[in-house]
């Protein structure tokens, strides 16, 4: 049951003398702190954290949780984010003490179970991507992109080639150009055609022997498979460049087609999307990358390796001896907890299950598209992969709404649905990007389509003022940005 009273802040609940923590008495001989540590290093008072009793904390955060929409409570068709069901078994099995209580610097012989799992996951990701060399180190998709671009930069340095340009399509995620910049590249944007695919003429005009990488999302952010991808790869390879595949939309092609087979040289996975996450209110994710054999030597260290002894026993170890490696992109091995969940998901499904994931994701998306296109424009056609982008632009004129996609999104909340992604990709006006995923029923899709239809028929007033049923109405975002209040303070 949701507690709809706005929750006070932790700091407003604080009262001197309250506390939750009780620590054991010191069982070793005690020496005064100022004899152990120099006086100038010591604080006079501990940090001014709130003083709270445990029941306060539990009720506070429990009430906060009820103010969130989540996959477990609502249909969450947030395009590009693959908000599928997060299996409970993965949560339980990733929380076994044998995974949680191991230190990152334990000797390899004491972590053979984990290393085997990670080794097998590397192999599974290589098989799914069609790219043989894998690193599990990056902490998120954007981090994987950055890592791959650093790998590319190192590869070209090693070849003695100066290539300073990265090309991205105008439909790309914002992380693509941002990652390219952080890896030291200039970025150029390649236009899309009216059908939503890469404009080949524009690509040809921008592609030259200075091009290091072309970053492509395929299926792209419009939910379309760009069938020119092999031709694009050939063009880029002919100029000596590399193809990076943004794996954000892998949920559409598992077991159907493989990036390595359609010309990609590098790609990242988003295990929190494709392999069922969860998303954790914004993280953690992970961003393993797969690359061709040629690029393998440049991947970050360490990589998990296997040796089979004469007895037939497999011994797993962390391989740091990779002289061409770019080094490290983060501390420790990687987001192991996320990777264990991905492993559970892959082992649950097997090859047939993964194929069925993509098939059902595609069927659900096309079915929803088929229902929605009758009352909202879907500018890029009657077919899609795992998601599609509708446009609410017509409502601008019909109802005089300034931000019709946003208004629709807000009104959907009242009807019990998490909104789709809005105003992305930038190439579609008033975009509503809808990704139902495979873990939703026809009934849910029908109900959503009907709600959306209902909303498009409502008055401008009703939409502009939505949502009407939430704990807050629309926040003043301009105020938040102009006068940033980024923490609580006692005198505010």
Partner 1 sequence: MPYFLNNQEDQQAMLAAIGATSIDDLLESIPDSMRLKRPLDMRPPMSELELTQHMEQLAQRNAQGTKHRCFLGGGSYDHFIPSVVDAIATRAEFYTSYTPYQPEVSQGNLQAMFEYQTLICQLTGMDVSNASLYDGGSATIEAVLLSMSVTRRHRKVITTTSLHPEYRQVIQTYLANLDAELVTIPTAGGRLEPSALSAELDDQVACVLIQHPNFFGNLEPVDGIAEQVHQAGALLVSVFDPISLGILRRPGDLGVDVAVAEGQSLGNPMQFGGPYLGIMACRERFVRRLPGRIAGQTVDRRGRRCWVLTLQTREQHIRRDKATSNICTNQGLFALRAAIYLSWMGPHGLQETATLCTQKAHYAAQRITERDRYNLKFAAPMFKEFVIQDKQGQVEQALKKAHAGGCLAGIALGRWYPELKDCFLVAVTEKRTLEEIDQLADCLPD
Q: Which of 49, 194, 293, 313 binds partner 1 (CB under 8 A)?
A: 49
Nearer to partner 1, 398 or 442 (CB): 442
Contact 301/327 with Cβ under 8 angstroms? yes
For residue 13, cis peptide bond before it (omega within 30 degrees of 0): no
Residue 313 carries which DSSP code?
-
Map residue 399 onto helix, strand or coil: helix
Nearer to partner 1, 397 or 491 (CB): 491
CA distances 444 to 198, 440, 441, 455, Å, are 34, 6, 5, 16
Nearer to partner 1, 34 or 398 (CB): 34
Q: Which of 389, 409, 433, 463 binds partner 1 (CB under 8 A)?
A: 409
Neighbours of 426 (CB within 10 A): 12
Nearer to partner 1, 351 or 398 (CB): 351
Q: Which of 280, 314, 319, 400 binds partner 1 (CB under 8 A)?
A: 280
Does 50 engage in binding with partner 1 (CB under 8 A)? Answer: yes
| Binding to partner 1 in span 8-37, by CB under 8 A | 9-11, 18-24, 26-31, 33, 36-37
Separation of alpha carbons 423 and 433, rounded Å: 8
Copy the structure tokens of residue 338.
């996320």
Nearer to partner 1, 113 or 400 (CB): 113
The binding track of 414-453 with respect to partner 1, each residue x by CB under 8 A or -, is ----xx-x--x-------------xxxxx-x---------
Does 396 engage in binding with partner 1 (CB under 8 A)? Answer: no
Among residues 80, 82, 77, 90, the alpha carbon closest in space to that of 346 is found at: 90
Shortest Å, Cβ 397 to partner 1 = 25
Shortest Å, Cβ 224 to partner 1 = 7
| Binding to partner 1 in span 351-370, by CB under 8 A | 351-357, 359-360, 362-364, 366-367, 369-370
Q: Which of 237, 306, 322, 347 binds partner 1 (CB under 8 A)?
A: 347
Piece of the chain touching partner 1 by CB under 8 A; list 333-341, 388-396, 427-435, 451-459:
333-341
Does 69 engage in binding with partner 1 (CB under 8 A)? Answer: yes
Q: Which of 160, 282, 312, 323 binds partner 1 (CB under 8 A)?
A: 282
Q: Which of 1, 45, 194, 313 binds partner 1 (CB under 8 A)?
A: 45
Q: Which of 122, 346, 428, 434 binds partner 1 (CB under 8 A)?
A: 346
Residue 259 carries which DSSP code?
G
Residue with token string 């959503």: 448
Size of the site for partner 1 (CB under 8 A): 202
Nearer to partner 1, 281 or 457 (CB): 281
Nearer to partner 1, 35 or 397 (CB): 35
Nearer to partner 1, 398 or 436 (CB): 436
Shortest Å, Cβ 489 to partner 1 = 8
Shortest Å, Cβ 399 to partner 1 = 19
| Binding to partner 1 in span 120-179, by CB under 8 A | 124, 127-128, 139-143, 145-146, 150, 153-154, 173-175, 177-179
Q: Which of 77, 111, 171, 389 binds partner 1 (CB under 8 A)?
A: 111
CA distances 142 to 7, 285, 329, 330, 375, Å, are 34, 10, 12, 13, 35
Q: Which of 5, 107, 312, 459 binds partner 1 (CB under 8 A)?
A: 107
Separation of alpha carbons 484 and 478, rounded Å: 10
Shortest Å, Cβ 36 to partner 1 = 6
Map residue 127 onto helix, strand or coil: helix
| Binding to partner 1 in span 234-263, by CB under 8 A | 253-258, 261-262
Nearest-5° angle of CA 341, CA 342, CA 343?
90
Copy the structure tokens of residue 327.
């080094």
For residue 166, cis peptide bond before it (omega within 30 degrees of 0): no
Separation of alpha carbons 148 and 151, rounded Å: 5
Does 190 engage in binding with partner 1 (CB under 8 A)? Answer: no
Contact 405/79 with Cβ under 8 angstroms? no
Does 93 engage in binding with partner 1 (CB under 8 A)? Answer: yes
Residue with token string 């080949």: 200
* Sign for the pseudo-dihedral over CA of 391, 394, 396, 400: negative
Nearer to partner 1, 333 or 375 (CB): 333
Map residue 243 onto helix, strand or coil: strand
Nearest-5° angle of CA 69, CA 357, CA 140?
60
Q: Which of 91, 201, 234, 314 binds partner 1 (CB under 8 A)?
A: 91
For residue 219, cis peptide bond before it (omega within 30 degrees of 0): yes
For 448, phi and psi rounded to 5 degrees?
A: -65, -45
Residue with token string 């990779």: 322
Among residues 74, 137, 83, the alpha carbon closest in space to that of 416 is found at: 74
């Amino acid at each position: 049951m949701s507690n709809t009273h706005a929750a006070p802040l932790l700091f407003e609940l604080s009262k001197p003398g309250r506390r939750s923590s009780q620590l054991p008495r010191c069982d070793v001989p005690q020496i005064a702190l100022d004899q152990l540590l120099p006086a100038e290093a010591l604080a006079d008072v501990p940090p001014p954290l709130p003083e709270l009793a445990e029941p306060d904390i539990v009720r506070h955060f429990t009430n906060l949780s009820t103010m969130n929409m989540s996959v477990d409570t609502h249909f969450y068709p947030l395009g590009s984010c693959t908000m599928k069901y997060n299996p409970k078994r993965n949560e339980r099995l990733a929380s076994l003490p044998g995974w949680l209580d191991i230190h990152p610097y334990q000797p390899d012989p004491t972590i053979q179970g984990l290393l085997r799992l990670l080794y097998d996951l590397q192999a599974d990701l290589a098989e799914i991507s069609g790219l043989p060399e894998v690193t599990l180190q990056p902490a998120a998709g954007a981090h994987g992109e950055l890592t791959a671009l650093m790998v590319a930069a190192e590869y070209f340095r090693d070849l003695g080639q100066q290539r300073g340009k990265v090309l991205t399509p105008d439909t790309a995620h914002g992380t693509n150009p941002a990652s390219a910049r952080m890896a030291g590249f200039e970025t150029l944007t390649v236009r899309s055609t009216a059908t939503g695919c890469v404009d080949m003429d524009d690509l040809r005009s921008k592609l030259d022997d200075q091009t290091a990488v072309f970053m492509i999302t395929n299926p792209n952010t419009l939910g379309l498979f760009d069938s020119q991808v092999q031709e694009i790869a050939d063009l880029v390879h002919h100029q000596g460049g590399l193809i990076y595949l943004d794996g954000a939309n892998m949920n559409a092609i598992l077991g159907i087609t493989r990036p390595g087979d359609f010309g990609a040289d590098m790609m990242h996975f988003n295990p929190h999307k494709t392999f069922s996450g969860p998303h954790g209110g914004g993280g953690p994710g992970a961003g393993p990358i797969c690359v061709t054999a040629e690029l393998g030597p440049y991947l970050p260290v360490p990589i998990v390796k296997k040796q089979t002894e004469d007895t037939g026993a497999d011994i797993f170890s962390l391989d740091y001896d990779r002289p061409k490696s770019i080094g490290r992109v983060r501390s420790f091995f990687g987001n192991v907890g996320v990777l264990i969940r991905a492993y559970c998901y892959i082992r649950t499904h097997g090859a047939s299950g993964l194929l069925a994931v993509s098939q059902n994701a595609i069927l659900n998306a096309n079915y929803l598209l088929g229902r929605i296109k009758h009352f909202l424009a879907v500018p890029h056609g009657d077919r899609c992969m795992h998601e599609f982008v509708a446009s609410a632009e017509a409502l601008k004129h019909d109802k005089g709404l300034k931000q019709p996609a946003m208004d629709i999104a807000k009104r959907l909340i009242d009807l019990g649905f998490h909104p789709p992604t809005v105003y992305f990709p930038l190439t579609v006006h008033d975009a509503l990007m809808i990704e139902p995923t495979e873990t939703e029923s026809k009934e849910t899709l029908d109900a959503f389509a009907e709600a959306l239809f209902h909303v498009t028929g409502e008055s401008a007033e009703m939409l502009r003022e939505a949502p009407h049923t939430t704990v807050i109405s629309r926040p003043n975002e301009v105020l938040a940005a102009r006068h940033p209040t980024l923490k609580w303070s006692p005198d505010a």
